[in-house]
Amino acid sequence: MLLLSQAYRSRLALPALVLCAAELAGCADARGRFEDFQNRVQGAAGAAATDGGAPDQTNGDGPCIPPAPGAVNGPALLAVNTSLASGYPILFVGTIDTPELEHTTAVHFVYRALDSLDRRTRVGEVLSVGPFPLVDGALVAKVPESELDGNANPVLHGAPITSEMTLSGYICGVESFYCGTVEGQSSGLVIGPFSGTFGITLLDGPDAIPERPRFGCEPEDLAPPLPD
């Protein structure tokens, strides 16, 4: 069951009161965004319960053959869409490489979160996860508990999120995009399980962020454009 912790309710309420005192016209919008977030929290528990977390198996008609060691290497964008903020993915940019490990190819990520307001500015600490061996092309990437910088939060900008998660999918051949599912557990601001999808987009350069990053295996799994 997902819960909004009392401590974080207080932390969110205080800045909201200060803002309302300074500018009454902005209160309705802030209240609406917070209520929308609460609705997402209430619905996320059910979504997490119905998703078994199995790797996405949309890997074509034949067997999944992972890329050769070293074949995938360079800048990449990781977009993680969760049931807490469906349709508004958390974005990370960095590098992906595929070293040899346990007689197969593995996947290793080094990345930082992107500010959700501009999808350009790097925020938070540099994270390194993996390498994760691709047994028959299957990726099971267990990301340990870490805190997401609040500026990367796409729903409540400025509110940090602490979570751990597992990315499950297939890395078949050399492609420009890979995808799969997400299962995780959050603590702090929100307490409870979540589910979702992810997309890994290989980039032409470290700043070549797509206008609408793709966060899942369906063609329509695209983040909304930033407001003008």
Residues paired with residue 191 on neighbouring β-strands, in sequence order: 3
Contact 215, 89 (CB under 8 A): yes
Q: What is the mean pLDDT of the chain?
A: 82
Find the largest Cα–Cα distance for the chain: 62
17-45: pLDDT as tens digits? 333 333 334 444 545 554 554 454 444 44
Q: Which of 1-15, 103-117, 121-135 has the lowest mean pLDDT?
A: 1-15
Three-state DSSP class for 21?
Answer: helix
Q: Which amino acid is at 115?
A: D
Please give the full DSSP string across 110-172, using - where no structure is assigned. Answer: EEEEE-TTTS-SEEEEEEEEEEEE-BTTEEEEEEEEEEE-GGG-SSSTT--EEEEEEEEEE--
139-191: pLDDT as tens digits? 999 999 999 999 999 989 999 999 999 999 999 999 999 999 999 999 877 78
Report which of 45, 40, 46 is spatially closest to residue 193, judged by C-alpha positions: 45
Mean pLDDT of 57-83: 88
Residue 188 pLDDT: 77
92 or 13, higher pLDDT: 92
Mean pLDDT of 87-113: 97
- pLDDT higher than threshold 80 for residue 69: yes
Residue 62 pLDDT grade (very low, low, confident, very high; cuts 50, 70, 90): confident
Mean pLDDT of 121-131: 97
Contact 127, 110 (CB under 8 A): yes
Residue 60 pLDDT: 57
Q: How far is the C-alpha of 47 from the C-alpha of 189, rounded, in Å?
A: 19
- pLDDT higher than threshold 50 for residue 200: yes
Tell me the percentage of the chain whose pLDDT exceeds 90.
68
Residue 184 pLDDT: 96
Mean pLDDT of 75-102: 96
Residue 59 pLDDT grade (very low, low, confident, very high; cuts 50, 70, 90): low
- pLDDT higher than threshold 50 for residue 76: yes
Query: What angle do the packed helices 6-22 and 27-50 form, to 10 degrees?
Result: 160
